[in-house]
Amino acid sequence: MGTESPTLSFPCTSSGTNAGTGRVVFDRYEIGRLLGRGGSAKVYLARDLQSNSHVALKLFSKSSKAPAGTAIAVREISLMRKLRHKHVLRLIEVLASRSKIYLSLELACGGELFTRVESRGRFPEETARKYFRQLISAVRYCHSRGVFHRDLKPENILLDENGDLKIADFGLGALSGGTNPDGLFHTLCGTPAYVAPEVLAKKAYDASKVDVWSCGVILFVLTAGYLPFNHPNLMTMYRKIYRSDFRFPKWISPALRSLICRMLDPNPVTRITVEGVDGITSHPWFLSGIDASEWTSEMRSHEDMFKFEDKSDDEKRALNAFDIISFSAGCDLSPIFDPTVSVRERFFMAEPAETVLKRVEDAVQGEGMRLRSSGEEESKGVLIEGQNGNFVASVEVCCASYGLSMVEVIKGDGSSEKLFWKEKLGPALNRPV
């Protein structure tokens, strides 16, 4: 998406003018200057008043003038929540008011990769390889989590204070499978110069191959200093893309030429994949200077660094702001995230989790039902089974804050299960039935 800001030249830890003297939102973030503007959101520098650290606050308006904003925000949130990788911008938390959704994002103070290429003309192959490896590590990870970006371009690749790359802007991204029975995508999205021919041709497409194409264009831009497919007439440009009609400048090495040609193969079936013996990560240009096992362990370290973060039990059970807004009346986004929401009921109770679960136990007393402990690591729960092992209901409780619990009930939809809810469980949990 487009941008407004030039290179971000402030240090991340700055507490000077860039830290902002402006308005405070949610008693939590002091908003500073505008960092950039995308198609549906504005991004501001902000200071977290609790930790005094800086973040990027991405602000989507939920106004009727920008109805797509909420959908894009929701998509971005649901995809980013699945990702924890050194080279993917981290979503810290989500806050919402009636009119706005705020994404608090890891701050990338090095600006856009695009600005850096523009100011230098082009990168030497060695520098381009460093960025490209980080990009492919992130893309491989996203694909392995079922997330496809679909709008990769240097403007959506930011740099942190160490000059390491961070993929940003998942507003056009998608989850694997989509809604189509063929598992392929049909949505026309992306930015023309970076978009694969099968997307322009409005054919069903494999989103992983579309990301590979965009990475090929990025690699070309980094090393050539200009776009491979460019023409003032859009139709002419599309024709060039369909035919993969581009020319290498003379300084590009033969090994790099072969990799770019394989990535910009107009046939998605024969186009190179990210992994595999014949994939990008096995290509000689990609592996130059390291062996495959070295690369594999480096790539794994980009993911592993987050796996070992240990939180206290209390922290694990506490809900984050995202969960709170998802479950809040007035800005309930949960139906968009979760299609099964209709059989669920979610509500808050001003009691600790243990008390809520004791109420469930009492309701089951004398009904000939069995209780089994359940619950993921962030919650406590019970599964209620009928006499013949049928599913009656499940109740899961998370601690939202001290003394406040968020309760989620999934109800069985048979007639005896409905009766149990109506006469026993619902009243025990103070629900209107």
Query: Which positions touch ligand AMP (CB under 6 A)?
Result: 1, 3, 5, 8, 35-38, 41, 43, 56, 89, 105-108, 112, 155-156, 158, 168-169
Residues near 397 by Cβ (< 8 Å), separated by ≥ 6? Answer: 353, 356, 357, 375, 379, 380, 381, 405, 406, 407, 408
Q: How far is the CB of 314 from ligand AMP (least distance, A)?
A: 29
Q: Least Å distance between CB 211 and ligand AMP?
A: 16
Shortest spacing between CB 45 and ligand AMP, in angstroms: 8
Token pair for 286: 């990609």
Q: How is residue 168 written in tokens?
A: 């940003």
Q: How far apart are CA 394 and CA 408, in angstroms?
A: 8
Closer of 112 and 396 to ligand AMP (Cβ): 112
Write down the least CB distance from residue 72 to ligand AMP, Å. Answer: 9
Single-letter residue type at 432: P
Q: Least distance in Å: CB of 79 to ligand AMP?
A: 12
Closer to ligand AMP at the Cβ: 2 or 432? 2
Spacing of C-alpha 44 from chain mean position: 19
User: What's the CA angle centered on 104, arms 101 and 177, to 5 degrees?
Assistant: 75
Cβ proximity to ligand AMP: between 37 and 240 the closer is: 37
Residue closest to 145 by CA, chosen among 174, 179, 166: 174
Would you give the DSSP letter of residue 310?
-
Residues 6+ apart with CB under 8 A from 156: 1, 149, 167, 168, 169
Of 27, 48, 151, 323, which residue is the catalytic one?
151
151 is catalytic: yes
Taking Cα atoms as reference points, which of 5, 168, 195, 186 lies closest to residue 90? 168
Complex with ligand AMP: residue 92 or 212, whichever CB lies closer: 92
Q: Are 155 and 115 in contact (CB under 8 A)?
A: no
Q: On the CB side of 290, how many CA atoms lie within 13 Å of its CA? A: 16
Please, what is the minimum distance in Å from the beta carbon of residue 205 to ligand AMP?
A: 22
Closest CA to 209 of 284, 265, 138, 131: 265
Residue number of the CB atom closest to ligand AMP: 38
- Is 58 annotated in some ligand binding site? yes
Helix, strand, or coil (residue 357): helix
Q: Where are the beta strands (DSSP E) in 160-210?
A: 165-167, 174-175
Q: Which residues are known binding-site members for ATP?
A: 58
Active centre residues (catalytic): 151
